[in-house]
Amino acid sequence: MTKIRKIATLGEKVLLKKAKPVKNIRDADVQKLIDEMIATSEHNNGVGIAAPQVFESKRIIVVHSYPSPRYPYAPKFGPEAMINPKITKKSKEKEKGWEGCLSVPGYRGLVPRYKKITVEYTDRDGKTKIMKAEDFVARIIQHEIDHLEGRVCFLYWLEDIKNLMTEENWKKMLAEKK
């Protein structure tokens, strides 16, 4: 069984550091870390996770979107490990959306993100990939790359404290919109 990792939360220094590039992608420890990141994200109903969130200062993110209790309307995508990801293009258009974060449990923030992006990365097999993403998947990638830059995800982009709410109130708001 794959190990479920402890998640770093607000106040952990690893979340504030710029993560280091991964050089040896095929290294057994890197591959094991990717598997543990996927398992940890799934175990916590996440749609993505960055290595700093599991106390590893490495430039690795996993994007794994699917409907779950935390994200009931998430589209299916992944899991896809992105090593040393870099956003190479961004649309001019931004869109506000509600984000949660495994490192900021119990809260959601309404933040603007680029609607469409192009990301270049290396996959876990060592292949260079270029991917165009939009909407929710683009939001996940931007959120996770923020973690690699030492930015605590959605809190960094929050425009107004009024755009922050508890997870419980966010769920009530969703139910009222039905």
- Mean pLDDT by groups of 10 residues along the chain of 178 residues: 94 96 96 98 96 98 94 93 98 96 95 97 97 98 97 86 92 84
How confident is the model at residue 32, as a pLDDT? 98
CB 102 within 8 A of CB 7: yes
* CATH superfamily membership of 13-96+111-152: Peptide deformylase (3.90.45.10)
Angle made by CA atoms 47, 168, 64, in degrees to the nearest 5: 5
How confident is the model at residue 1, as a pLDDT? 81
How confident is the model at residue 100, as a pLDDT? 93
How confident is the model at residue 154, as a pLDDT? 82
List all residues 6 or more positions away from 48 whose beta carbon is below 8 Å from its beta carbon.
41, 61, 62, 63, 64, 65, 140, 141, 143, 144
Is 144 designated active site?
yes
CB 47 within 8 A of CB 63: yes
CB 60 within 8 A of CB 82: yes
The β-bridge partners of 100 are 108
How confident is the model at residue 175, as a pLDDT? 85
Q: Where are the domains of the chain?
A: 13-96+111-152
**How much helix, strand and coil, in percent to the nearest 5, is found in the chain?**
30, 30, 35
Alpha helix stretches (DSSP H) within the chain: 28-43, 135-148, 153-157, 167-177
How confident is the model at residue 42, as a pLDDT? 95
Which member of 42, 56, 99, 144 is catalytic?
144
